[in-house]
Each structure stands twice: as C-alpha cells, then as structure tokens.
Structure 1
Amino acid sequence: MAKVWNVPNTLSAARIVMAVLCFAALELRLPAAALVLYVVATATDWLDGYWARRFNQVTQLGRILDPFADKLLVCGAFVYLAAEPTLAVAPWMAVVVLSRELLVTALRSFVETAGGDFSAKWIGKWKMALQCAAIIAGLYLLIETAPRPEWLGLVFRVSLWGAVLLTLYSGVVYVRAVASFALSQHAQRPDA
C-alpha cells in the first residue's frame, strides 16, 4: 500500500479533491476561493511529476490519476467559464477542449495497451500552460471586488484563444503520432 500511495499519487488524488472543491466554490459564487484552489491544484501538477521522476516513484496508478486530475481540472473549469456570461467564453470552446481530452485519453489507452509509449509531448505541455493561464485569468476576472487592469482582459482573451488553437493542434499531433504507431505495429505483424 505504501508504494501505491506515494507522494506523487497522493498529490494527484489531492488535486482531484481540490478540483471538486473548486467547482463547488464556483457553484456557490465564491470565485476567489475557486481561484486559490485552482492555483494550488495546478502547482501540485508540476510537483507530482517532478517528484515521480526525481525519486523514481512512477506507478501504474499515477499514470491514471495524474492525467485524470489534469483533465478534470481543465475540462471542468472550461465548462464553468463557458457558463459564465460575463467572460464570453463560447460553449464550442469548452466542447473543443473536452473533445480533445477524451480523444487523447482513448488514444493513450490504445497505444499503451499495444505496448507503446504515450508520454506527454512538448505541445501538450504548452497547451496545458495556456489553458491554465486562461482559466486563472478568467477566475480572477470573476472576482467582483478585485481590481481589473485592462491588460488582464487581454491576457485572458489571448490565452483563451491560444489555448483553444493549441488544443486543436495538439490533438492533431497526437492523432498523427498514434497513426504512425499503428502503421508501424501493422508492418511488424507477420501476416502483414
């Protein structure tokens, strides 16, 4: 049990709990609390990956928990932001994010079941960074009592559009990689 619930897996599980609390705070119209929870949860994403690699604590459970926590945080936040009329996040943007995440999860399952490696690519990391920047700026803009510098609205719009475009592009990158993997697997079969 100690090997399964190591530091990275505990952080990923905590991130799932923080995501649920973040969405509860948004439902209760407490955007400042949601923002704090989201920022802490996002920081633990970096920490759990670093810890797992640094101390060789990569586990099968971690390979499930970590991406699930990431997808829950990002997809859930995009749904909430799209439901907020003051932010003007088009619902199709949330659909793009959700669709890409579901597709990549299915592709990961296919590749790893076939014995392949489906490690994150740099484009996926940049996509996540832009998504988090958009969500953090959006959550801040929901705080009615917070000062709203003009540049923050611009940061929100640019990071939002950048996140959506990079989400689409990274989906294409992963589809191509999996197609290449599938072709190589097919070529290696004796009956091919």
Structure 2
Amino acid sequence: MSALEQTSPAEAGRSSGKRPPLPIDRRSLNVPNILTLSRFVLSLVLFVLIDYDGWWRLSAALFIVAASTDFLDGYYARKYGQVTVLGRVLDPFVDKIIICGSFIFLLRYPQSGVTTWMVFVIIGREMFVTSLRAILERHGTDFSAKWSGKIKMILQCVAVPVSLFSLSPEFREDISPIISPAAFDTFRDAFLWATVLFTLYSGVEYTVRGFRLLNQSIREKQIDEQIRPS
C-alpha cells in the first residue's frame, strides 16, 4: 500500500503535529459549528434584506457580523481543539453561500458596481476549486486553504459591504464631507476589480497546486501497483 493509503486521518494528524478532526457525533454541536450555523441563518436574513431593497446599511452591518463569525469559529476551533469533520465540511459551504449569494443578489442593482462577469468569475472559481478539492480528498490528499484563499476571502468580505453602503443614499450623504459620492464609487469599483482579479489569481494558484498533488497521488498509486506482488 502507498503512504497515502496506509495513513489514516488520525495518524496523519498526529504525524503532522495537528490534532485530528473529531468525528460527526454529539461533540459536533460545539461552539465553532454553532457559529457556522448562525452565519448560515444570518445569510438567509441578509438575502431577504437585499432583495427587499432599501435596508442597505442594515444589510452591510448584518454581513459584517456574519462574516466575523467565520474568523471566530476557525480561531475557537483551533485554539480549543474543537475542529470536527462536520465543521470542515460546513464552514466552507456556508462561506460560499454567503459570498456567492450576496454577489448574486447585488447583481440586481447596477448601482452596486457588481457586474455579470464578476459574479461569473467568483462562482466559477468556487465551484471549480470545490470540485478539485473533493477529487483530491477522495485520493487521500490534503488540500486545505492557503494564504491566497484566505486573502481572497478577506477581500470579498470587504467588497460586499462596500457595495451595499454605496447603494445607501443616507450613507453617501453622511460621507460627503469626507469623500464625494463619485470618488467613493471609484474606490468601490477599483476594490471590486481588485477582489475579482485576486479571486481569479487564487483560483489559478489552487488549480496548479491541485493538479500537481493529483498527479503525485496517481504516480504513487501506479508505483504501488507495480511493486505489489501478483
């Protein structure tokens, strides 16, 4: 058997110095996963507010609160050893729901600065990387998030409330003594472009790394089959 096949998740966690994730049982209903589930509920409320039209500042504030739980649940899980299999599946799923959903709903409002091609890039990247991660994990290969994916998430979590605030007449009036509405729109558009371009870069980087790991896994299995006695 190859090294990938010989090593269980628990053994891999011990050998790397990391505590292996807890299985799906009653312990899965812990603080980090409750925070993740609360983010999912908040995302549904957020989509209703965006679709309702007019609650822009409340929508932006709600998104910021929901996004902050993404950093809290990960920190809490690692600090107190509460990383679970359920959390490793649920957390990225909810992240994609709130990010992709927010951009889809913002697409309805041209004044938000969000365009069709931006949404296409964001959703396409998430779907492709998720599919690639599923294939790699099926081969027993770790494909955890790297720095580019984390920066991508931070940029997206800033871009959404910036777009929401730009839709609020009250907000635009409040900031007018500091920055003109036109200048704020320019900043918003530039930030959206930077966010989408970095999302694309992150997708390319993950793709290159993913295919390299996949080829390595396939080669190991081929070598294992060649040396296995018939």
Structure 2 length-normalised TM: 0.79
Counterpart in 1 of 2:190?
158
Counterpart in 1 of 2:31?
7
Q: Distance in 2 between matches of 1:89 and 1:66?
A: 25
- The one-letter amino acid paired with 1:31 is W
- Superposition deviation, residue 52 in structure 1: 0.7
Relative to structure 1, the CA distance from residue 155 to residue 133 in structure 2 (aligned partners, 3 Å threshold; closer, same or farther) is farther
Alignment of structure 1 residues 86-165 onto 2, 5 Å = 86-146=111-171, 147-148=174-175, 149-150=179-180, 151-165=183-197
- Superposition deviation, residue 80 in structure 1: 1.7
5+ long unaligned stretches in structure 1: none
- Superposition deviation, residue 23 in structure 1: 0.5
Q: Distance in 2 between matches of 1:64 and 1:95?
A: 23
Q: Distance in 2 between matches of 1:2 and 1:43?
A: 25
- The one-letter amino acid paired with 1:157 is D
Residue-by-residue CA offset, 1:92-128 (whole Å, 9 max, x unaligned) = 1101100101111111111112111111110011111
Alignment of structure 1 residues 74-85 onto 2, 5 Å = 74-85=99-110
Counterpart in 2 of 1:67?
92
Counterpart in 1 of 2:209?
177
Residue-by-residue CA offset, 1:18-71 (whole Å, 9 max, x unaligned) = 011000001111222211210000110000010011011111110111101111
- The one-letter amino acid paired with 2:122 is V
Give RMSD over aligned pairs.
1.4
Number of matched pairs: 192
Counterpart in 2 of 1:23?
47
Contact 1:133–1:156 (CA under 8 A) maintained in structure 2: no
1:37 aligned onto 2:62: yes
Q: Distance in 2 between matches of 1:118 and 1:187?
A: 17
- The one-letter amino acid paired with 1:182 is L
- Looking at both structures, which has the greater relative contact order when contacts are Cα pairs under 8 Å and sequence separation is at least 6? 2
Contact 1:93–1:164 (CA under 8 A) maintained in structure 2: yes
Q: Distance in 2 between matches of 1:186 and 1:112?
A: 13
- The one-letter amino acid paired with 2:125 is R
Contact 2:46–2:63 (CA under 8 A) maintained in structure 1: yes
Name the SS for the 2:27 alignment partner: coil
Q: Distance in 1 between matches of 2:61 and 2:169?
A: 15
Counterpart in 1 of 2:10?
none
- Superposition deviation, residue 85 in structure 1: 1.4
Report the identity percentage. 39
Structure 1 length-normalised TM: 0.94
Which has more radius of gyration? 2
